[in-house]
Structure 1
């Protein structure tokens, strides 16, 4: 996650947090923002090549923190952006991605994620449905059913606050060591 200021689009002092949605290539940075407010919705009208001030990156959502050969990447909604970026730099290996969305139509970047996961020999589980309709993919038993060796992996989590809290609680109940859990939370703080 980094903080971005878009002069000409917003007040110069107003910073917004977004995650990269592609690995940096030394020339460009790519972010993908959900049109949730006037700033993120208005970004689609910013001209290509617009000046942007970037502060960061911050957080632990990087393979530098990997301690295990296997990784589980869990995303909810637009939280797929740092997962997608991270996948670009990951070697082939034991990767599992759980991507939670209400419907497949809501799955931002899903074709890119599918291709990156397939190129690395990993597995993608697209988890659809509304929690209030009985879908509870982040209960401990559900996670263990999807990823039986979950306690032997590094786990990366990015999504809405309620989902992230549910996943972190389930990982704790499953006794996944805290040093192998890396999360990125939405928000300014």
Structure 2
């Protein structure tokens, strides 16, 4: 096994790591986070119950009297539920602070994806059953019924355009197509969701039988959509713009760590007031050619100290590869911080941090904070070669930290250097440690499986997916 154990306490060629005087260690406990996540689920469920009540109080007594009536009713109900879930789906990623601190951005994104699938199924059900119900009622062909609906109901053409946009966005998020699209293409296609919501909303208000004849339902529905729009404008546009103006964040310098990893240092006004903790990530939009049109999530590799902070980025795509082309002085629009992958989650004295690739960035920040808090920390650092080890001199200067680089490709080594027996040999007291994992998705899932094999309780294993797509 190609490993090197580093436990340096002296390296005078590198500037020492300065431990912050005041570390934020009073985050929410795991139990508190669980309770708040339940509250979020309860709020969404109550909203769904309100929608069902709105439908029930305005439903015809004969809604299931004939096949045509029942089919039409299913179409109407699926449309109402789909319309509600669209708002819920958007609110989950509206950057509402209470939602994010309660659930975590990674879980909110997961819920958003799950609801997206449900919304597409409900829209397909709504369209299909409304056409089928009309066919049964009018004794017509599918095409004739489509023409009848488009010509006899208000705002149907805009609803058709919006529906097509919904399916285009949904298909672009499917794994097969998503892997073939660049993040930038996916991002801009995803923004058409807001246009689709507006176009289909007009149809709901002007043609929905549960709204046209019921002023109360109509008012509640309008308030739901206006509230959703207000949340998006407030937490994704206005407040981030105000924060960016107050911070005046700029690129201070760009440091090439190795062939595939780059660190970017930022400076700005009130950087120390951002409330960033080790393990957090932020959304960065650089006001520079090739970066302006999209915002990307990057983890913090050095929390703010003396007015500067740092991210460490792996060259995984066009945007991250162009990071090293940034010039000092470039303005930066930063949103956040986000995430629950923080030292506050640690409940044991002994900690194991597992890093791979650019995951060394947040792991480095966590190591700094955890060692400063007195934890016994080991960092297992997976890399292809010595040349791929970034931030190693900085880790080496942290007092009491043990770093274990695990080098080599499995295809070259002929075995897995992080199999359960291998990891147990590297860290004999594994079952006494709490584990934080950060790296490529494949490595993270593999390590979770290995840790479960080694009987590490699930509650002591922490990882967070850094993806908004």
Question: Quick check: 2:291–2:319 contact (8 Å CA) kept in 1?
Answer: no
Match of 2:383 in 1: 101
The equivalent of 2:283 in structure 1 is: 3
5 Å matches for 1:125-136?
A: 125-133=404-412, 134-136=414-416
Q: For 1:21, what is the secondary structure of its paired residue? A: strand
Deviations 1:79-100 (A, max 9, x none): 1000111122222441100000
Distance 1:157 1:150, change over 3 A: same
Cα shift readout 1:8-43 (whole Å, capped 9, x = no counterpart):
244544111211111222622211112333212222
Residue 47 of structure 1 aligns to a residue whose secondary structure is coil
Question: 3-state DSSP class of the match of 2:404?
Answer: strand
1:168 corresponds to 2:168? no
The residue aligned with 1:52 is: 332
The 2-side partners of 1:11 and 1:124 are apart by 35
Unmatched segments (≥5 aa) in structure 2: 1-280
Greater fraction strand: 1
Q: CA RMSD in A?
A: 1.8
Tell whether the 8 Å contact from 2:354 to 2:436 is kept in structure 1 after alignment. yes
Which residue, 433, 438, 444 being the options, matches 1:153? 433
Higher relative contact order (CA 8 A, sep 6+): 1
Using the TM superposition, name which of 158-167 and 41-50 deviates more.
41-50
Q: Which moved more, 1:134-143 or 1:100-109?
A: 134-143
Cα distance, 1:26–1:64 mapped onto 2, change above 3 Å: farther
Quick check: which has more Rg, 1 or 2?
2
Contact 1:160 1:185 in 2 (8 A): no
CA contact (8 A) 1:84 1:113 kept: yes
Cα distance between partner residues in 1 of 2:329 and 2:369: 25
Task: Please give the TM-score of this superposition, normalised by the length of structure 2.
Answer: 0.38
1:29 aligns with 2:318: no
When the two structures are aligned, how many residues end up with a matched partner?
Answer: 186
Contact 1:60–1:182 (CA under 8 A) maintained in structure 2: no
1:185 match: secondary structure: coil
The one of 99, 104, 115 equivalent to 2:397 is: 115
SS at match of 1:105: helix
Classify the secondary structure of the residue corresponding to 2:396: helix
What is the distance in 2 between the residues matched to 1:170 and 1:185? 18
- Offset, 1:181: 1.1
Residues of 2 paired with 1:111 and 1:11: CA distance? Answer: 30
**Mapped partners of 1:107, 1:184: distance in 2:** 22
